[in-house]
């Protein structure tokens, strides 16, 4: 099992969000930094990851609708690939 902790307060822009996510989740160098690439990397995690995303309200405040899309990407991947995803506002 792999545990990943993401903090929305560090995601002040789209670019910063993808940088934080890529760094904390050890995504490959070629990570495309867009929603499709995020979904692809999430579905390649294997080993039953546990992802905890805190301060999601701050992410949504900073990025608005795009912050919601990032969170939806995590939710959709978790539903499809049955890994654990927790959110804390």
The mean pLDDT value for 66-84 works out to 96
Residues 12, 17, 21, 24, CA torsion sign = negative
Predicted TM-score (pTM) of this structure:
0.94
Domains along the sequence of the chain with CATH: 3-88 (3.30.370.10)
Segment 24-52, tens digit of pLDDT: 999 999 999 999 999 999 999 877 899 99
* Mean pLDDT on 61-74: 98
Phi and psi torsions of 75, nearest 5°: -60, -45
**pLDDT of 82:** 87
């Amino acid at each position: 099992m792999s545990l990943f902790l993401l903090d929305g307060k560090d995601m002040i822009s789209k670019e910063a969000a993808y940088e934080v996510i890529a760094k904390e989740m050890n995504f490959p160098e070629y990570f495309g930094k867009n929603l499709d690439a995020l979904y692809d990397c999430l579905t390649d995690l294997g080993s039953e990851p546990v992802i905890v995303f805190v301060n999601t309200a701050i992410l949504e405040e900073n990025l608005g609708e795009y912050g919601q899309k990032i969170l939806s990407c995590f939710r959709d991947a978790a539903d499809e690939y049955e890994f654990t995803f927790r959110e804390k506002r």
